Amino acid sequence: MKKKWTILLCSVMLVGLLAACGNEKDATPPTTEPTNEAVTPAVTEGQDKYQDGAYYAEGTLDESSGWKPYVVLSVKDGAIATVDWNFVSSKGGPDKKTLDKAGNYGMKAKGNAQADWYEQAAKAEQFLIEKQDPAAITLDGEGKTDAITGVSIHVNDLAVLAKQALDAGPTEPGAYKDGSYHAEAAEFDPASGWKGTVDLTVANGKIINAFFSGVNEAGEDKQANSIEGKYGMKANGGSIAEWHEEAQAAQDFLIEKQDPAAITMNGEGKTDVISGVTIHVSDFVTLSQKALEGAN
C-alpha cells in the first residue's frame, strides 16, 4: 500500500512540475530581430527646394512683335520669394510693364481684355510663388493656361524661363537697380538735325538691353530711318556699314562691358575699342551715363 501511495505522489508532483515549466515558457515575451532600415523623417513639400539667391534667364527676340522676354527670381529660405516676368523692346523705350502701366499698351482699352497685361502678369507671378514649381503652369498648344484664374495672356515664356533660371542655379546680381532708363540730348544738333536718345533696361542688376538712336523734328527715329534706307551712310558716305548696324554694335559692347566708360573716345567723339564702329559715339556714352544715374 505504501508503495502505491509513493508512486501516486510522484506522478502528481511530476505533472505539476511540467505544468509550471509550460507556464513559465509561455510567459516569456517574444524577441524582435534588429533592423537596419533607416527611418526617413517627413519632409515638408517645397522646404529647402531651391538654393537661396538670385536667378535670371532671358528668351529670344520675337521678330514679329519686337519683344524679348526675361525672368528674374529670388529665392529665400529655399522657396521662391519674388518673380519679375517682363519684356524688352528691340525698338527701345521702356520695358513692357512700364509701358503698360503708363497706358501705352492698352489690352483693355484696345482689345477689350478682362485686365491689362501687367495685371495678368502679376497674377501669373503670384501663382508661381504659391505653387513653387513652373510645371504647375500647365500650357495649351497656344502657350496659354487654364490653371490661373483671370489670366488669358500667353504665359509660356514665364513657365519656360522660370524653369530655365532655376535649373541654371543662382547668378551674381549686377551693381545697378532694376528698371528702364531713358536719356536724351537737350536739343537738336544744328548740323545733323538729330537729337540723340538712349534707352537702357536693367534686370538682375545688369544692363540687358540698350538702344542708341535719335529723333528729328519730324519725330522720326534714327535707327528706323537707317533700317528703311533713308539715312544712307553706305550709299552716300561710302561707309562699311549702315548707321543702325554700327549703333547696334555699340549697344552690344555696352551690354558686354556693363559700363559706358569702357567706350573710350578720341577728340572727335569716335572710338577704336569697338570693331567696325566708325560713327560718333559720344552721345551714346554721355547719355548712357546720364540714364544710369537713376540706377546707381
Indicate if 252 and 201 belong to the same structural domain.
yes
In a domain, 263, yes or no: yes
In a domain, 33, yes or no: no
Indicate if 58 and 163 belong to the same structural domain.
yes
In a domain, 146, yes or no: yes
Tell me if 96 sits within 8 A of 104, measured CB to CB.
Answer: no
Domain boundary among 113, 139, 168: 168
Number of domains in the chain: 2
Indicate if 156 and 207 belong to the same structural domain.
no
Tell me if 84 sits within 8 A of 125, measured CB to CB.
Answer: yes
pTM of the model: 0.81
In a domain, 270, yes or no: yes
Residue 184: give its domain's CATH number. Answer: 3.90.1010.20
Indicate if 186 and 268 belong to the same structural domain.
yes
Domain boundary among 118, 145, 168: 168
- Per the DSSP assignment, residues forming a β-bridge with 20 are none
For every one of its 296 residues, what pLDDT tens digit does the chain have, with 9 covering 90 and above?
444 434 333 343 433 433 444 444 333 333 333 333 333 333 344 456 899 999 999 999 999 999 999 999 999 999 999 999 999 999 999 999 999 999 999 899 888 899 999 999 999 999 999 999 999 999 999 999 999 999 999 999 999 999 999 999 999 999 999 999 999 999 999 999 999 999 999 999 999 999 999 999 999 999 999 999 999 898 888 888 999 999 999 999 999 999 999 999 999 999 999 999 999 999 999 999 999 999 99
pLDDT at 19 (0 to 100): 42
Q: SS3 for 175?
A: coil
Indicate if 186 and 84 belong to the same structural domain.
no
Indicate if 132 and 208 belong to the same structural domain.
no
Indicate if 153 and 64 belong to the same structural domain.
yes
Indicate if 183 and 225 belong to the same structural domain.
yes
CA–CA dist 222, 212 (Å, integer): 9
Domain range for 142: 53-168
In a domain, 29, yes or no: no
In a domain, 24, yes or no: no
Q: Tell me 221's DSSP state.
A: B
In a domain, 42, yes or no: no
Which residue matches cell numbers 532708363? 181
- Return all residues near 208 (Cβ < 8 A) that are at least 6 apart: 58, 70, 88, 201, 202, 255
In a domain, 282, yes or no: yes
pLDDT at 105 (0 to 100): 93
Indicate if 225 and 154 belong to the same structural domain.
no
